[in-house]
Every structure is written in structure tokens, then in C-alpha cells.
Amino acid sequence: MTQSNTLLPNLYTTMKRIRTFEERVGELFIKGETAGTMLHLSIGEELGPTCLGAAMQKQDTFTTHHRGHGIFIARGGDPKKMMAEIAGKKDGYCKGKGGSMHIADMKLGHLGANAIVGGGIPTVVGAGLSSKYLEEDKVSVAFFGDGAMQQGILYESMNMASLWKLPVVFCCINNQYGMGTKIDNAAGLKDFSKRAASFGLNTLHIDDLDIENAYVKSKEIIDKARKFEPGFIEVECYRFFGHARMDKSPYRSEEEEIKMRKSDPISYASNQMLKNKIMNEDEIKKINEKISIEMDEAMDFAINSPLNNQKEIFTDVYDESEPLPISVEERINKILS
Amino acid sequence: MSDLNKNYYEKITFRDALRLAIHDSMQEDEKIIVMGEDVAAYGGAYGATKDLLKLFGPKRIIDTPISEAAIVGASMGAALTGLRPIAELMYVDFFGMSMDQIANQLAKVRYMFGGQINAPMILRAQGGTGRSAGAQHSQSLETWIMHTPGLYLSIPYTPNDAYHLLRTALKINNPTIFIEHKLLYNTSGVLDKNNPDQIFGKAKIRKKGKDLSIISYSRMVNFAEKAAEELAKQKIDVEVVDLRTLNPLDRETIIESVKKTKRALVLSESCYTAGVPSEITSIIFEHCYTNLLKPVIRYTAEDTPAPVAPNLEENYIPTIEKIVEYSKKLCK
Ligand SMILES: Cc1ncc(C[n+]2csc(CCOP(=O)(O)OP(=O)(O)O)c2C)c(N)n1
Ligand SMILES: [Mg+2]
């Protein structure tokens, strides 16, 4: 296959891996094996993370919001260690201490998923500052939802990135809702690119399913950021299911969901491949089967991973050369003995 | 919601008691508005404002953008200029983004401006562990508020208290921070609208006893009650004190109880160091040191962030077994 013939299959594969991973997270929950219910799945939102993930370079860094599984898969995250983290187990990326909303892997440039809406955005400004100072050629990308578009910290961060000409990209995954609140009830001006442009950022608005085009366009923004022109990308999409695992979306109609789920980036990409004879149905089926096995294995890995030792409550608060915090039990026993 | 107009409920959830309190207050006082993330269409992340949109309309039940600093600041501005907002933060952890508005603005506006103006509002927020919600969604941050003069602080345990404390906070002119534990919403109990059973700032003795005072608030009162039951079987008679409001703080009840029992365990889900229990322990020491037979014990969560792993989270906070164990040692 030529380069242009491998691009779409690669993007398709990543999207399909994200979706299958998220489906298995749902199964893990049903099996009662997840740590808690705060599982924010990105089913339906695969396009943005996939094309940006592909457009970034190996050394680049990023932060994500609470709905960050897909982004990390697109950046090379190991589904096994991710799933184990979601299960709150020892073999997870963060030893099961962070869970679904706090996956990170410094080796892969993942500076952290965040449970605070907007919380991870200024981190990329600092990462951009380091990159420029240390001459490392790293672009840093902040991924966040439309909800974070209404947090003040975003605008403080955009201004700094612009002022200091940092290699930074702000990427808003606009899935139309912040929990149960539709974007129309949250944003005074819905044209987010206008907001970013007013800070002097390059902007891109992706609002269709053509992922090849989205990839090319986002690569342009990221490449410009690498030359110290910070950028902003908004990807419009739809959250196919509830906000978190327990949410049945009572605030929106079934008709809306059915209609919006038809804008499925994955079926669109597979239809494109068939139409342009890049792949046939059998080949696509083979990819899907391989992914299915990979994600089943991730789920089994998580289920079989051991629980944490109780001592882990106290580790990692401070650098390992420092003493552990004294447990309450030890304090009380000392007083009472 | 079950029948809104009853005066007595045999069994009502903590969540519904809060909804009733907001409802009843809004009916009486048209200056009251509710604002916060997902409070209207969604009915509140924990259901405490469910159906209120239908009853009072979008003018009074207002969904906000995810902008915690402005939610608090704008509520204060409205409170200064004629309204009485009930603002909601989905988690106490979001004090983080709104702390300037809470501590530098809301708490100080009356004092700095020489008493010219009041900011009569409530800020409701939900806290605590128990749902594997992780380090940024499981904190107990009452200490931040208690350490900030100018803010009243309610932290109820029962539905009856939740109802009456909220009703009272909506009648006084000071800003009140109202903290609800995430695992209390589904608990239930009696609600008697005609029996406030309290004055704002008055602790409640949940169980009388003579051997040991366990002083607590919010969900930990439940742990204290369960431990007291177990200890009763072992002939240790515990007095359980539920503080209910941390500012004003009912020092008299604490002191009186410890003078009687001569032993005290202060129980809380906040971290150990410089927490609310540290303050209570100081008060006990200041006033009861000649009465005490044993040192005062602070039993709290660990001095670490909250882990997600359920098997760690469970032991991150006090357990009933250990309350029993420490109580026995105190009473030996
Ligand atoms: C500062 C802050 N406020 C509120 C919340 C509660 N909360 C969690 S996710 C969410 C909605 C976020 O919407 P958006 O940013 O669009 O991301 P999405 O969930 O749609 O991916 C809210 C309100 C939070 N976690 N952090
Ligand atoms: Mg959203």
C-alpha cells in the first residue's frame, strides 16, 4: 500500500481500538471489577484524539480531561495497564491509586488525566515553556471538553501561550454536553475558534467525519506550534452514551441520540475504505478481530492483577528518599501505649 | 418527591429532606434562587434539586456553566444586591477553583466594608470518600472553611438536621457553607418540620453515655453510633456528640460531655494534621485538662490524598473496628 493507502487504515485501527477498549471498560464495570462508577467513556468521540494523536510526534507531551482513555490509546498507551488502573489494581499505570480519571505515563509524554474540569490546561503552558527553554522540540497539547471552555484558567493559559510564543496546542473535544447541560445553556458564544483567535492563536474547527482531512489540518496546526505559533483546535462530536457509567441521559431525547449516533466516525472510515477499495470487508473484519482479542486480554489482565498492599496508602505522597507519612494508627498507638 | 406539604415524615432520605428545605424556603421567600452546575435540567448531580425546575422555573433554578469561581462570586454579588442565592458546587474539592471568591471575597465583604452590607447566601457542596472517586473528588475540606472567619459552616448527619439547618441558614444574614457527605444522600430518617430540635450552633447528643465521649460530625457520626453499640455489649458506655455546625461551634456541649466522661475521641474524615479535630482537641485540653483520665485521641483519615483502589480507600478513613479498639484502650 502507498502512504496515502496506509493512512486511513491506520486511523481506522486506532479509532476501533479506542472504541473496543471503552466497550470492555463497560463490561469490566458490569462484572463489578472497576474501581467505582466514575467511568467517562469516549465512544463516538474517537476522531479528534485519533487524528491529533497521529499528528503529534513521539517526543510530544499532553494532558487530558476526565474522558481521556481514547486520547492515551491514540498516543500509545498500553490497554492492559490502563484497564488495570481502571480496576484500581496494582499493575495499573498509577498503581491503582488514580483510577480512570487519573491515568498518566510520563514515559509516553502523558502528563496526566485530570478530574478537575480545566485542571490540566495550564500544565501544557509549563511544558511548552520547558520545551522552549531546553530546546527539546516538544509540542504540548491540552485535551479538554467543551465544559472547560467556560473555565477562566483556559483563558489565562491561552494568553500566556500567545504572549510567550510557546509550542502549545489547546484541543477542545466538543461533545455538545457538559454532564446534563447542553452547550447552548453553557456558552454565551459558541464559536470557540473566535475566542481563541482573539488571543492570537491559530485556529481549526473540525466538524465533519473526514478523518484524513482532519488529520492533515490538525498536523498543520501542530507543526506551526512547533515553530512557536500556539494553536487551538475544536473537534465537534457527540457523546454516544451517558456522561458516566450510571448516567442514562434523561436530559436529552432518544431521537436526538439515534440521529447523532449516525454520525459515527468509525463506520464512516470503514465505508470510505470500502468505497475507495483501500480494504475489503474481510480485511476490515480481520483488523476488528485482532483488536477484539487485544482488548479481551487487557480486561483479563486487569481482572487477574493483584490488589494493592495497604502500605500503598502512604507511598508516593513525597519523594521516595523522604520518610513516609506517619499513619494515624501509629500515632494513636504511641499515645495510648 | 413524596407529598410536599406534610409536616411529619416517618422516613425520608437526606436528599429529599434537602429538597424539601429548599422547596419550602423558596415558597416563603421569593428572593431565593438556586444556581449551580446541572441543578436545573439534571436535578443536581446528587438529586438534591430534582424537580425544582418544574416547580419554580428557569428564572429561579439556574443551570450555570462550569465556572466555579464565578458561581460563588456571582452568587455573592446577587446576595449583596437583594437576592438570597443557594449556590451549589458539585464537590467540595472545587473549593479549589473558587477559594478566592469564598475566602477573600465572601468571607470578608462585610468586615472590610465596615459592616455596611451582608451577603446572605448558602454555598452547598458535597464531600467525603466512599465511591472510589479519587484524590480530587473525595476530600473533606471543612477545615479550610472553619479556618476562615466570616463563614458559617453546617455539616449535618440526619435528614431532620439537613432540613432545619438549611432552613435556618436561609433566614440568617451570614454566608453559610453547607457540606453534605456523598454517602448520606441515600440514608433516611425522620423529618419533623415542627421540631427543629436544634438551634443553629447547638450540638446534639445522639447517645448519652458516661465512659467516653466520641465527638464527631457528618457521616462519621454513623460510625460513632455503630461503634457505641458494639462497645455497649462490652460494657463501655459511650456518649456520641454530633456537632452539626462547626461555626458556630457548640463548645459548651463538648466541654460538658468530656467533663462528665473524662475521656474523648474526636472522629473525622478529614486529614489528621491541623484539621477540625485538632481544634476540638485543643478546646478539650484548654477546658478539661484536670478532668481528663487519658489523652484525647484524634481519629481521622490519613495524611495523604485519597486513593481510588477500593481496598485502600476503605482503610484510608477511620473504620468502626478501630474506633472500638481505640475506645477500649481509652477506657482500660
Ligand atoms: C472543576 C470541575 N467542575 C465540575 C466538575 C464535575 N464534572 C465532571 S465532568 C463534568 C462535565 C464536563 O463537561 P466537558 O468538559 O464538556 O467534558 P465531557 O464530560 O463532556 O467530556 C462536570 C461538570 C469537575 N469534575 N470539575
Ligand atoms: Mg462535553
Which residues have C-beta within 8 Å of that of residue B173, sequence separation ≥ 6? Answer: B118, B120
**Among candidates B37, B67, B308 on the partner chain, residue whose Cβ is nearest the Cβ of A97:** B308
Q: Which three cell numbers stand for residue B171?
A: 433566614
Residue B41 near chain A (CB below 8 Å): yes
**What is the pLDDT, as a whole number, of residue B2?**
57
Min CA distance, A127 vs chain B (Å)? 21
Atom of ligand 1 nearest to the CA of A243: 19
**What is the pLDDT, as a whole number, of residue B199?**
73
Work out the burial of residue A228: count CB atoms within 10 Å of its CB; fewer than 13 is exposed, 13-18 middle, 19 or more buried: middle
Virtual torsion, Cα A230, B94, A72, A5, nearest 10 deg: -50
Q: If you measure from the C-alpha of residue A277 to the centroid of ligand 2, how many angstroms do you get, rounded to a whole number? A: 35
Please tell me the pTM assigned to this model.
0.97
**What is the pLDDT, as a whole number, of residue B125?**
98
Residues with CB under 5 A from ligand 2 (ion): A 145-146, 175, 177-178
Distances (CA, A) of B10 to A124, B2, B188: 54, 12, 9
In a 13 Å sphere around the CA of A178, the CA atoms on its Cβ side amount to: 29
Atom of ligand 1 nearest to the CA of B94: 1
- Model pLDDT for residues B74-119, shown as the tens digit of each residue: 999 999 999 999 999 999 999 999 999 999 999 999 999 999 999 9
pLDDT of B3 > 80? The answer is: no
- Model pLDDT for residues B213-229, shown as the tens digit of each residue: 999 999 999 999 999 99
Q: Which three cell numbers stand for residue B117?
A: 452590607
Determine how many CB atoms are found less than 10 A away from the CB of residue A1.
10
Helix axes A3-30, A281-304, angle to 10 degrees: 40
Helix axes A211-226, A47-55, angle to 10 degrees: 40
Q: Which three cell numbers stand for residue A217?
A: 489540518
Could you list the beta-strand ranges (E) of chain A: 61-64, 110-113, 140-145, 168-174, 177-178, 181-182, 202-206, 231-236
Identify whether the C-beta of residue B120 lies closer than 8 Å to the C-beta of residue A23: no
Virtual torsion, Cα A132, A133, A136, A142, nearest 10 deg: -50
Please judge whether A328 and B136 are an interchain contact, meaning their C-beta atoms are less than 8 angstroms apart: no
Please judge whether A313 and B304 are an interchain contact, meaning their C-beta atoms are less than 8 angstroms apart: yes
Min CA distance, A187 vs chain B (Å)? 7
Distances (CA, A) of A337 to A161, A333, B267, B298, B329: 57, 6, 19, 15, 9
Q: If you measure from the C-alpha of residue A145 to the centroid of ligand 2, how many angstroms do you get, rounded to a whole number? A: 5
**DSSP state for residue A325 in the 8-state scheme:** P
Secondary structure element (H or E) that encloses residue B228, with its range? helix B220-233
- Whose alpha carbon is nearest atom 6 of ligand 1? B90
Biggest CA pair distance of chain A: 78
Q: Bridge partners of B57? A: none
- Model pLDDT for residues B233-244, shown as the tens digit of each residue: 999 999 999 999
Identify whether the C-beta of residue A217 lies closer than 8 Å to the C-beta of residue A210: no
Here the CATH number for the domain that contains residue A265 is 3.40.50.970
Residue A36 near chain B (CB below 8 Å): yes
CA A258, distance to chain mean position in Å, is 24
Rounded Cα distance between B231 and B209, Å, is: 11
Please judge whether B97 and A35 are an interchain contact, meaning their C-beta atoms are less than 8 angstroms apart: no
Work out the mean pLDDT of chain B and round it to a whole number: 97
Identify whether the C-beta of residue A322 lies closer than 8 Å to the C-beta of residue B303: no
Identify whether the C-beta of residue A75 lies closer than 8 Å to the C-beta of residue A66: no
The dihedral region occupied by B241, where left means phi > 0, alpha psi between -120 and 50, and beta the remainder, is: beta
Q: Which amino acid is at A159?
A: N
Which listed ligand is nearest to A144 at the C-alpha? 1
Min CA distance, B218 vs chain A (Å)? 20
Rounded Cα distance between A162 and A134, Å, is: 19
**DSSP state for residue A252 in the 8-state scheme:** S
**Among candidates A99, A328, A335 on the partner chain, residue whose Cβ is nearest the Cβ of B302:** A328
| Per-residue pLDDT tens listing for chain A (337 residues) | 455 689 999 999 999 999 999 999 999 999 999 999 999 999 999 999 999 999 999 999 999 999 999 999 999 999 999 999 999 999 999 999 999 999 999 999 999 999 999 999 999 999 999 999 999 999 999 999 999 999 999 999 999 999 999 999 999 999 999 999 999 999 999 999 999 999 999 999 999 999 999 999 999 999 999 999 999 999 999 999 999 988 999 999 999 999 999 999 999 999 999 999 999 999 999 999 999 999 999 999 999 999 999 999 999 999 999 999 999 999 999 999 9
Rounded Cα distance between B296 and B330, Å, is: 9
Identify whether the C-beta of residue A158 lies closer than 8 Å to the C-beta of residue A196: yes
Residue whose C-alpha is closest to residue A125's, from A90, A91, A158 = A158
Residue whose C-alpha is closest to residue A52's, from A103, A118, A130, A124 = A124
pLDDT of B71 > 90? The answer is: yes
Residue A186 near chain B (CB below 8 Å): yes
Determine how many CB atoms are found less than 10 A away from the CB of residue B306.
27
Please judge whether A326 and B303 are an interchain contact, meaning their C-beta atoms are less than 8 angstroms apart: yes
User: Which residue of chain A is at minimal alpha-carbon distance from B267?
Assistant: A328
Q: Where in chain B is the domain with CATH 3.40.50.970?
A: 12-192
What does B269-296 look like in DSSP terms, one character per residue? Answer: EEESTTSHHHHHHHHHHHHHTTT-SS--
Classify domain B204-330 by CATH architecture.
3-Layer(aba) Sandwich (3.40)
Identify whether the C-beta of residue B155 lies closer than 8 Å to the C-beta of residue B145: no
Residue whose C-alpha is closest to residue B228's, from B217, B218, B239, B220 = B239
Handedness of CA B66, B70, B71, B74 (dihedral sign): negative
Strand order across the beta sheet in which B212-216 lies:
B204-207, B238-242, B212-216, B264-271, B297-301
Active site amino acids of B: 68, 137
**What is the pLDDT, as a whole number, of residue B332?**
92
Rounded Cα distance between A304 and A300, Å, is: 6
What does B73-93 look like in DSSP terms, one character per residue? Answer: HHHHHHHHTT-EEEEEES-GG
Domain count, chain A: 1
A335 contacts in chain B (CB < 8 Å): 295, 297
Q: If you measure from the C-alpha of residue B2 to the centroid of ligand 2, how many angstroms do you get, rounded to a whole number? A: 33
Determine how many CB atoms are found less than 10 A away from the CB of residue B234.
10
Min CA distance, A21 vs chain B (Å)? 20
Residue A101 near chain B (CB below 8 Å): yes
Please judge whether A88 and B316 are an interchain contact, meaning their C-beta atoms are less than 8 angstroms apart: no
Rounded Cα distance between A170 and A287, Å, is: 32
Q: Which three cell numbers stand for residue A104?
A: 498518566
Please judge whether A35 and B132 are an interchain contact, meaning their C-beta atoms are less than 8 angstroms apart: yes
Rounded Cα distance between A195 and B277, Å, is: 47
**What is the pLDDT, as a whole number, of residue A286?**
98
Identify whether the C-beta of residue B285 lies closer than 8 Å to the C-beta of residue B124: no
Please judge whether A251 and B63 are an interchain contact, meaning their C-beta atoms are less than 8 angstroms apart: no
CA-angle at B115, arms to B110 and B116, nearest 5°: 95
Identify whether the C-beta of residue B197 lies closer than 8 Å to the C-beta of residue B218: no
Domain holding A152, by residue range, is: 3-336
Secondary structure element (H or E) that encloses residue B12, with its range? strand B8-13
Classify domain B12-192 by CATH architecture.
3-Layer(aba) Sandwich (3.40)
Lowest mean pLDDT among A11-15, B134-138, B196-200: B196-200
Q: If you measure from the C-alpha of residue A146 to the centroid of ligand 2, how many angstroms do you get, rounded to a whole number? A: 5
Q: Can you tell me which residue has the cell 480496576?
A: A87
Q: Choosing among B92, B312, B313, B314, which should be mutated to test the A contact, i.e. which has the most A CBs within 10 A?
A: B312
Distances (CA, A) of B252 to A51, A216, A295: 64, 71, 61
Q: Residues with Cβ within 6 A of ligand 1?
A: A 40, 65-67, 115-117, 145-148, 175, 177-179, 239, 243; B 37, 66, 68, 90, 94, 97
Q: If you measure from the C-alpha of residue B101 to the centroid of ligand 1, how many angstroms do you get, rounded to a whole number? A: 20
